[in-house]
Structures are given as C-alpha cells and as structure tokens.
A and B are shown apart, each in its own frame.
Chain A
C-alpha cells in the first residue's frame, strides 16, 4: 500500500497548530548575542591568521635557524677557534713550519704524535690557555706589584721573550743556545721549545703557541 503524506492544510486545526509552531519569533532571538560573539571571535582569529598567512611557519624556521647559528657561534667561540676581542690567548692553531722542523718531523714521524700530545698537554698548562682570573696566573699573584705582575704576565705569555719591565736587566732567563734551530729556547726545566713563526706578525703570539715542539 502506498502511503501518501497527509496534507495538514486539509485539516484547519492541524494547519493552525503548525502555523503557531512556525510563527515569526520576536526579536531579539535567544542566543543571538552568544552566536555573534562566537562569530566575531572566529572571524577575528581567522582574519589574523589570514594576515599572517604562512608567516608563522617562516618565523619558526627563522627562529630555529638563528638559534642554530647562534649556538654554533657560541660553541665555536668557546673552542677558541674564533678570535675574541680582549681574549688573545686561545687554543693552538696549526701554522706553517720551517723546513728544519719539517725534516725533524719527517725523521721522527713515529714520535711526532707523542710530541704533539706532550705539546698539547703542555699547552693546557700554558699561561696562554688560562685567563688572568685563573689560579697560577701571574696576574692573580697579588704579592707582586702591578708593574711586576704585568711583566710576569707578559713574560709568561711570551715564553720569556717579552722584555717588558726588564729594561737594563740581563736576559739571563732566555739563553739562546747555539747549535739549535733558530727560535729554540731553553727553559729552566730543560725542555727545549722549537718555534717557527716566532713573533711573526701581530698574531705571532698565538701562532707561537701552536707550533711549539718539545724535545729533550
């Protein structure tokens, strides 16, 4: 049996019921303020998102990249590879060597590693790797006068070649032995330092640290 829809208009009572049920509502409608608030909030947010567009992604990428660059820079500076103003003493850096030393390295290639290790170890105890605020640094020795501290600091940093504050004094502490390669100095501990590029240029101080070899 085919069921057809009843026509409510055929029954005026039903028509009256539906007319009343669908009568126009009086303004303001319930919930209008809440809906408008939600609409404003949503549209305001989407408008901001539209203004920014894909930029937040760009901002995040840029922030990450800049953070990586900054961290890398700090890490590089911490290793001493980068010159920092006011921090002249840093880790040894390789420099060119003289021909004599090259021969020496070739001849004693087996022991060169050990020598470099010694050198690095020695360099760690070197004044150049410790700042003025570290214990043992001449600048930290308050028993000395200011001039004497400066001279001691300069002497220690230059491995005895600095003559600051020693005008008129004999260079007894720095005896150049004949028969050694130029630039070799004998210190009180009997160790001989071979250097190349000694006082070469303005950055010779740092370079001399990096090319020191010990023997004996």
Chain B
C-alpha cells in the first residue's frame, strides 16, 4: 500500500468498506504474524486474531497519514496482546518465560544461509536472538519501522533501541560467520556464486 492511497483506504475502512479493510489487513498482517512468531511462537495465530479484534474496535478513532503508522499501531496492539497472553500463562503457573525463545531451538545458520531460505527459516534464525534483540530486529528490519516508532512501541529510549538493534545484528552476523567452511565447500561453485558468504571464501 502506497503512502498516497493510505488515507483514503483508511477512511473507507472506517466507513465500513470491507475491501479497504482487507487492504489494510493484508498490509499489516504478515508483519504482525511474523513478529508474533518470533516472540510468541506457537501462540502467534491466536494472539494475531485477538489483535485484529482489538484493531477493529479502535479503527474508527485511529488517525494516521502513512501506512507505517498503521503497522506500528497494529504491532503495538499485538505486542500488548502478547504480553497479556504471557501474564495469563504465568497466572496459570506455566513457565511462560521458559517458552520464550531466549535461545530458540537448534537452528543451524548453515541451513539458513546455504539452503533454500524460506521465511520460516529466517524467522527461526532471528528467533535465536535474545528476546529483546529479536523484537527490535523484527520491528526494525522486517516491519521496517523507524527507531522513534520502535522506541515508542517498546516503551524504551531510542538510544536503547539502537543498542539492541546493534547487538542483535552483531550476533546474527557472528552466527553466520561461525558457519564451518567444510559445510559449504561441497556446494557447487556455481551454486555458491550467488551466496555472498561463499564468494568471499578463499577456497
């Protein structure tokens, strides 16, 4: 959705135009769902559904001039729903924080880099980051929000968001650098030409 058409689309959705609402949904839902899959994993779908119920409720009073603001609003609601979800799980004496992927499952960066890069594999790779870094990386480089919006969304200072982003990227790069050379050496040279990491390989 372009910045030019967004105000009209939002106004139409607020007036009951289903097509306009669908356009807004399709613009924001992928980012919301991927963000929630990083931070909430298996509960992402349920939380996203709750998020849209709340978005619908507040859509009439929402005002924005650009789609990034709408995405930020939706992500903010989604994050709050996720936190509510965590609190409710804690109340049920579940180890909610243990399920939060501080270090997610055994994702091999080699698979991420040298095998078919799917969206799910990329999200799994980002999920290996500490939660706060993964959040910032997702919001910054996947949802494409600027630092000020992220800071507002997370309730942090822009400097703190910048630090988290820096650390998250550094950690991801370190994970990619740790890929053993022999793992990708058997790969065909033709196949590895498009892979930047392989192109720099002295072998």
Contact = CB atoms under 8 A, between A and B. Distances in A.
Asked whether A and B interact, the reply is: yes
B70 interface: no
Nearest to A47: B16
B56 A38 contact: yes
Interface in B128-178: 138, 141-144, 147, 159, 162-163, 165-166, 169-170, 172-173, 176
A22 B142 contact: yes
A57 interface: no
A188 to B, nearest CB: 83
Contacts of B195: 13
Chain B interface SS verdict (over half): helix
A18 B117 CA distance: 10
B29 A31 contact: yes
A179 B142 CA distance: 116
Interface stretch (A3-11, A96-104, A113-121): A3-11
A70 B201 CA distance: 94
Contacts of B196: 11-13, 16
Contacts of B22: 32, 36
Contact of B117 (A4, A16, A34, A47): A16
B18 A14 contact: no
Contacts of A46: 60
Interface in B34-93: 34, 45, 48-49, 52-53, 55-57, 59-60
Interface string A11-44: 1111011101111110101111011101110110
Contacts of A29: 25-26, 29-30, 33
Nearest to B197: A13
Contacts of B18: 36, 39-40
Given A3-B162, A21-B122, A32-B22, A42 B176 contact: no
Interface residues of B, number: 50
A59 to B, nearest CB: 24
A34 B55 CA distance: 12
Interface centre among A25, A32, A35, A38 (most CB of B within 10 A): A35
Contact of B113 (A3, A8, A16, A34): A16
B142 A21 contact: yes
A6 B52 contact: no
Contacts of B21: 35-36, 39
Contacts of A30: 29, 33, 45, 48
Contacts of B29: 25, 29-32, 35
Contacts of A42: 56-57
A4 B22 CA distance: 38
B157 to A, nearest CB: 13
B166 A21 contact: no
Contact of A17 (B49, B56, B57, B117): B117
Given A11-B196, A18-B122, A18-B142, A38 B52 contact: yes
B119 A20 contact: yes
B52 A23 contact: no
Contacts of A14: 169, 172-173, 176
Nearest to A15: B196
Interface centre among A14, A16, A39 (most CB of B within 10 A): A39
Contact of A23 (B25, B55, B119, B125): B119
B111 to A, nearest CB: 12
B126 interface: yes
Interface in B164-203: 165-166, 169-170, 172-173, 176, 195-197
B112 to A, nearest CB: 6
Given A30-B48, A35-B21, A36-B21, 4 more contacts: A20-B119, A23-B119, A31-B48, A39-B56
15 contacts: A5-B147, A5-B162, A6-B166, A11-B176, A14-B173, A17-B172, A18-B122, A22-B141, A22-B144, A25-B29, A29-B33, A32-B26, A36-B22, A36-B25, A47-B16
